[in-house]
Amino acid sequence: MKMTPPPSSPVRTGNNLRLGIVRLGRAAGKMKYALLDEGDISLVQQYAFEARLEVDPNGDGAAVYAWAYDIKNGRHAGQYLHTMLWELHKGGIAPGWQVVHVNGVTVDNRLDNLALVPVGAHDTARRGYSSSNSSIGGTKNCPARRSLTPQEKERCLYWVAIAQLPVDPLEEYSLEVRERLHQQQPGGVVRTCLNRNGEVERLVCEDPAVQGGGLPTPPYGYYECRNPPCTQIEQHLRQFSICGRCQEARYCGTFCQQRDWPVHKKTCQPKARPAASAATDKSPER
């Protein structure tokens, strides 16, 4: 049985607001945390929490949610944390309605960040209720799905809280493993990933560059911004920029890349470009 995460000490934000952070586990390549009101932290005594990645069936990307279930009943009896909190504090949810996150951060489960809206009111309600619709049920309008500006990120309570956490040690470990594997497999491209249990897995494939086919083509997949507080996930292939030094870390924009550089530079290793083959290095005949 999965162990219940220990209650974390409330985190103080700049306005002296006390919040709780619960460790959810790894999802989308990063350690995930849920932000709660201080009064809801006691739920960890009865419930277990985990991160759950949901892919939009309409092709609108993916999002990570907090999933909660009673320890005595098991995972099969769980539900989304934001739904559970709404029912706990506000009452039941009528058919045809759903709970969404106002600021678009799907693991920010403060009660002030939750709103009740009609199902289908927005194509991707998980990122918030469209600002073009009127306020419903006394809740303020929610922003449409979009990337937060740098100013909005700095003011976002989730960003402020997660930025105070120490660097995930497993992230540094996985980068060290990747570097050792690159040294052990000179004729192949080694890619490391984390399975659903948070364990480091190795994938070695032939390097087209070694075979004279140019630079290796990265596998198809969606990436999440590497900056820990950021929850942006690619909505289409190769949307995010990539670190020009290691060719591994991906970011949703310059702001996140600059913020993460003090941590990333400790493990960022320059990617060696393949040596030119004899055929391509041969000078043209005169």
DSSP codes of every residue in 88-115: HHT----TTEEEEETTS-TTB--GGGEE
Global pTM?
Answer: 0.65
CA distance 9 to 131: 35
The pLDDT of residue 35 is 92
Nearest alpha-carbon partner for 23 in 130, 237, 168: 168
Q: What are phi and psi of 193, to 5 degrees?
A: -145, 170
Higher pLDDT, 150 or 271: 271
Rounded to an integer, the average pLDDT of 212-229 is 61
Residue 162: C-alpha distances to residues 11, 21, 52 (Å): 9, 8, 18
The pLDDT of residue 189 is 47
Among 111-125, 183-197, 203-217, 260-274, the range of highest mean pLDDT: 260-274
User: E strand or H helix at 280, and its extent?
Assistant: helix 278-281
Residues counted in the chain: 286
Domain boundaries, the chain: 11-162, 169-264
Q: Are 36 and 21 in contact (CB under 8 A)?
A: yes
CA distance 33 to 21: 6
pLDDT at 278 over 70: no
The pLDDT of residue 93 is 92
Could you tell me the sign of the dihedral formed by the alpha carbons of 264, 265, 269, 274, in that order? positive
Nearest alpha-carbon partner for 31 in 41, 39, 23: 23
Q: Which tens digits make up the pLDDT trace of 131-189?
A: 333 333 333 333 334 566 666 666 778 888 888 887 765 554 444 444 444 445 444 44
The alpha carbon of residue 260 and the mean position of all alpha carbons in its chain are separated, in whole angstroms, by 14
Rounded to an integer, the average pLDDT of 259-278 is 76
CA distance 198 to 26: 6
Burial of 93 (0-12, 13-18, 19+ CB in 10 A): middle
The pLDDT of residue 280 is 52
pLDDT category of residue 78 using cuts at 50, 70 and 90: very high
